[in-house]
C-alpha cells in the first residue's frame, strides 16, 4: 500500500520519464524526419513538465502577489526558465523544419534510410574521382 502511495505521489516524475523515453524512442526508431521532429518536441516538453513539477508547492497559488499575508506561492524561478525555453524551442523546431523542407527539395525524400543510401552512393563516386586524380 505504501509503495502504491509513493508511486501516486511521484506520478508526475514517472510520467515525465515515460514521455521522455517515448520521445527518445520516436527519434531513434522512426525514419521520417517530421516524426523525428515531433518526437524531439515531445522530449522537450517532458522536460518542461518536469521543471514545473519541481516548482509546485502544494497548497500554493500562482506567483502573482495578492497582498494577502501568509499566502503560499509556487516557485517562480522554473516558470521563468521554461517560459523562455518554450519560445526558443519553437524557433529551433522551425529551423529544423526549414532544413527538412530544403532536404526534400534537394533529394526528393525525407526518409533517413533513403538519404543515407544516396550519401553512400555519392561517397563512392567521390572516392573514385579522388582515386582517378591520384
Partner 1 sequence: MVEFWVNVFLISLLVVITFYIIRLKSLIAIVALSGAYSLTAAAIFVNMDAVDVAFTEAAVGSGISTILFLAALRYLPLEEAHHTRFSGWSLTLCIIVGLMLINAAFSLPDFGDPGAPAHLHVAPRYIEESYPLFHIPNVVTNVLASYRGFDTLGEVVVVFTAGIGVIILLTGSTLSMRFRKSENLPVQNKEASKKET
Partner 2 sequence: MRENPVFKIVSKILFGPIIIYGLYVQFHGDYGPGGGFQAGVIVAAAFILYSIIFGLERVRKLMPVIFVNYIMALGVLVFAGTGIASIILGANYLDYSPFAYKIYKAQHLGIIVVELGVGLTVFAVMLGLFYAFSGFKPKK
Q: Which of 126, 98, 114, 129 is nearest to 34 (CA)?
A: 98
Q: Report the chain's terminal Cα–Cα distance, integer Å.
A: 74
| Rounded least distance, CB 30 to partner 2, Å | 22
Q: How many CA atoms lie within 13 A of 46 on its CB side?
A: 19
| Rounded least distance, CB 115 to partner 1, Å | 11
Binding mask 72-111 for partner 2 (x = CB under 8 A): -----------xx-xx---x--x--xx--x---x------
Say whether residue 117 binds partner 2 (CB under 8 A). Answer: no
Report the alpha-carbon distance of residue 48 to residue 69 in Å, rounded: 30
> Quick one: 6 or 125, whose CB is closer to partner 1?
6
Q: Which residues of 41-70 are buried (b: 16+ CB within 10 A; e: fewer)?
A: bbbbbbbbbbbbeebeeeeeeeeeeeeeee
Residues within window 33-52 making contact with partner 1, judged by CB under 8 A:
34-35, 37-39, 41-42, 45, 48-49, 52
| Rounded least distance, CB 75 to partner 2, Å | 16
Binding site for partner 2 (CB under 8 A): 62, 64, 83-84, 86-87, 91, 94, 97-98, 101, 105
Amino acid at each position: 500500500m505504501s509503495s502504491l502511495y509513493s508511486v501516486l505521489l511521484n506520478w508526475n516524475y514517472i510520467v515525465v520519464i515515460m514521455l521522455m523515453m517515448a520521445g527518445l524512442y520516436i527519434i531513434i526508431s522512426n525514419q521520417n524526419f517530421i516524426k523525428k521532429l515531433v518526437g524531439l518536441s515531445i522530449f522537450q516538453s517532458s522536460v518542461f513538465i518536469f521543471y514545473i513539477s519541481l516548482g509546485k508547492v502544494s497548497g500554493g497559488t500562482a506567483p502573482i502577489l495578492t497582498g494577502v499575508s501568509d499566502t503560499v506561492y509556487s516557485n517562480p524561478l522554473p516558470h521563468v526558465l521554461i517560459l523562455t525555453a518554450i519560445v526558443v524551442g519553437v524557433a529551433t523546431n522551425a529551423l529544423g523544419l526549414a532544413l527538412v523542407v530544403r532536404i526534400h527539395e534537394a533529394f526528393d525524400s525525407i526518409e533517413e534510410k533513403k538519404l543515407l543510401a544516396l550519401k553512400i552512393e555519392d561517397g563512392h563516386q567521390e572516392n573514385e574521382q579522388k582515386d582517378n586524380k591520384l
